[in-house]
Structure 1
């Protein structure tokens, strides 16, 4: 899904839609928090993917100046 997130972030960056990018972060951070609290399975690979997605979103935010 990281490619999908990259495409979404690139679209928001082109539109200069900082608010939309800021809205993505809490969702991904909450998902990561929930993954880390799971027991009985290894959430490592999925947690790594979500961490990468958070990095992509943060990089997109860094390219758009706050208003």
Structure 2
């Protein structure tokens, strides 16, 4: 679950996280409603999943989304080259084949 949530956070996909959370919450409600069966491990796992998803949603605050997806020139992090190793490389034109 952490890798899946991290991927959605990196993509900035709030909708996918919200859908995933709603699905896990529905599963949690269903697990709690099963009579005569020990669903405590399932309930604990689903509750943990929801906590991980909530943490991912918190990482997608509106301010952070604007910073990560701002066009070049508007993002101080991107301008400083933090986390963007490819910015330090110069573009090289491919050889001209005839």
Q: Same fold (TM over 0.5)?
A: yes
- Structure 1 unaligned regions, length at least 5: none
TM-score, structure 1 normalization: 0.87
Q: Does 1:13 align with 2:43?
A: no
Please give the alpha-carbon distance, in whole angstroms, between the structure 2 residues aligned to 1:29 and 1:18. 16
Structure 2 match to 1:39: 35
Post-superposition offset of 1:16: 1.1
- Residue 25 of structure 1 is aligned with which of 21, 26, 31? 21
TM-score, structure 2 normalization: 0.61
Aligned residues: 63
- Structure 2 unaligned regions, length at least 5: 66-98
After superposition, the CA RMSD in angstroms is 1.2
Q: Which has the higher helix share?
A: 1
Higher relative contact order structure (alpha carbons within 8 Å, sequence separation ≥ 6): 1
Q: Deviations over 1:14-43 (max 9, x none)?
A: 111111101111100000000001012100
